[in-house]
Structure 1
Amino acid sequence: MTQTVQMVGVYVRDQDEARTFYVDKLGFTVQSDVRNGDYRWLTVQCPGQPFQLGLFRPGPPVHDAATAQTLQAMVAKGAMPPLVLEVADCRAAHARMLAAGVEFTQEPIDRYGTVDAGFRDPSGNGWKMIQARRAG
């Protein structure tokens, strides 16, 4: 049996804001942006990767109002597990993203035999940016 994870969703407070952040600041591309009434299916993809990231707003038809409010509060507090972005050069990516207005929670530091930094999206979702280890 062959299985592949095709997409993982993250909750965002504003899908237009999230789309702008992921496309304009991180360099992702929009794969789907479909509306069905008040519901919107929005996915982005890191270039060269088959994996998609769903940018979803908590609420109907999936969540009731109370659940949606709780999820939005958790995201805003950074309570969701961090996502990981692998880059070739963490310091160079940090400089480029900082110039684009990305909010960093941790400057690049050397540890564990590589370099990593932390940032978050406009909704509060935490990211770790890790420099790829060199083969050898």
Structure 2
Amino acid sequence: MIRIATAQLWVHDQEEALAFYTKSVGLEVRSDVTLPEMGNFRWLTVSPAGQEDVAIVLMAIPGPPVLDAETEAQVRELTAKGAAGTVFLTTDDCDAAYAELSARGVEFNEEPTDRPYGRDCGFRDPSGNNIRLTQLREM
């Protein structure tokens, strides 16, 4: 059987992303390992409490030799514009989650709105990634 284990978001600063996702969004650290033998590569993952089987990798945008300087700059720019990826989070109560996260300092660019699939709102992380927060409706 094949299952999803992780999804990746490019981040400009792993410490800033870690603070945002744990303190503001309320996720938990699943892995935080630095590998000196790989040039201090840091594997950093977070996920919601009680959901240990899937995590978001907060991946630092690599430079050479992984990405050439031009590609690194492009990835940084696309991430900042919100065009490098989106993570969809679900909740049982979109309005309550919106209020809770807003109180923790998360700045939403879209307030909760009814959609054909449920109630939904959006925010961006410090790197620019789009995050959707959705209360799904039974279809």
* TM-score for both structures, normalised by structure 1: 0.90
* Mapping for residues 1-136 of structure 1, pairs under 5 Å: 2-36=1-35, 37-49=39-51, 50-60=53-63, 62-112=66-116, 114-133=118-137
Moved over 6 A (4+): none
Please give the root-mean-square deviation of Cα atoms over the aligned residues, in Å: 1.6
Paired AA for residue 41 in structure 1: W
Distance (whole Å) between structure 2 residues aligned to residue 44 and residue 113 of structure 1: 26
Which segment is superposed worse, 18-27 or 59-68?
59-68
Paired AA for residue 83 in structure 1: V
Deviation digits for residues 63-119 of structure 1, max 9, x if unmatched?
222221110110001112321110111011001111111121100011215211011
Task: Name structure 1 gaps, 5 residues minimum.
Answer: none
8 Å CA contact retained: 2:117, 2:136: no
Distance change in 2, residues 1:38/1:67 (3 Å): farther
The count of residues paired between Structure 1 and Structure 2 equals: 134
Task: Name structure 2 gaps, 5 residues minimum.
Answer: none
Distance change in 2, residues 1:119/1:35 (3 Å): same
* TM-score for both structures, normalised by structure 2: 0.88
User: % of aligned pairs identical?
Assistant: 42
Distance (whole Å) between structure 1 residues aligned to residue 8 and residue 85 of structure 2: 12
Distance (whole Å) between structure 1 residues aligned to residue 132 and residue 84 of structure 2: 13
